[in-house]
Homo-oligomer: A and B are copies of this chain.
Amino acid sequence: MKVGFIGLGNMGLGMAANLLKAGHEVTVYNRTASKADPLVKQGAHFAAQVADACRGDVVMTMLADDPALEGVVFGGAGSNGNASVLGSLSKGAIHISLSTISVALSKKLTAAHAERGQRFVSAPVFGRPEAAAAAKLVVIACGADDAVSACAPLFDAIGQKTFRFGTDPADANLVKISGNFLISCVIESLAEAMALVGKAGIDQHQYLDFLTSTLFAAPIYKTYGAIIVDKKFEPAGFAAPLGFKDNRLALAAAQDLQVPLPIASLVYNRFLTLLANGGEKLDWSAISQLAAKDAGEGQKSA
């Protein structure tokens, strides 16, 4: 397929490379143009403007947050003088949004593209940069059936599995946001359990090994359990301000739907505490240190 790709950060770089490997014709755009160099060497076309990445059947966007995506799609303040995706995409063409954005923006994009006869598919992904590079992402795809089906080869190129949750693009974003919320629950609950067994003098590695070889034998417990026990919060795989952003996306979606999420509120306060105490460079799982500190870690024992 002929596809544009906008946003060549840690995640986007791997995804675009995998699209090339799968044989697609890819035109890449990034605000800082030099990021495109390795992809161009691998055969990608270089787009000097956003509009240049919007001339194919599909344009994929992988950007940091709502304002970044809004700038690219709607133009205006965040556009850096570029023509917008909205103004550049031809009728019937598809915009695939891969970013973790708000449910509200997803609804706004759905309406805006529909108005111009363009198609919109929301397809946020689960996975860290390593997974993006290895084409091992999990893709959540929502949108009109024909549009999502048309994009299947692209999803196959970047991920290990695609889940479809119906035709409303915003649902994909809610699934992504609620998934990240569940991960934050794993972090906080492991933090509390580790503070407890650790203060009793139980070996935390052994405890984690027990958990993850029995009832909690899931990737997420293994990954975050190891980070928490080893306190490997630097370099940040997913920095605290980003984790906080996703926590607020969950709270915002829940507020719109009038759904109280007490654990999300608790995690919200953990993030505020972490950031207020100098943790902005740490991995988001560093909120786990707060349970340990509250339990007196670092204090002299009586």
Contact = CB atoms under 8 A, between A and B. Distances in A.
A255 to B, nearest CB: 7
Interface string A134-168: 00001010000000000000000000010101101
A165 to B, nearest CB: 6
A277 B293 CA distance: 8
A221 interface: yes
B258 A269 contact: no
Copies of this chain, whole number: 4
Contact of A182 (B190, B258, B272): B190
Contacts of A262: 188, 192, 266, 269, 291
Interface string A200-217: 111100110011011111
Given A189-B182, A266-B263, A258 B278 contact: no
A175 interface: yes
Contacts of A295: 257-260, 272-273, 276
Interface residues of A, number: 74
A48 interface: no
A277 B296 CA distance: 5
A67 interface: no
A275 B263 contact: no
A192 B269 contact: no
A178 interface: yes
Given A257-B196, A260-B291, A179 B138 contact: no
5 contacts: A138-B214, A161-B214, A254-B272, A262-B269, A278-B300
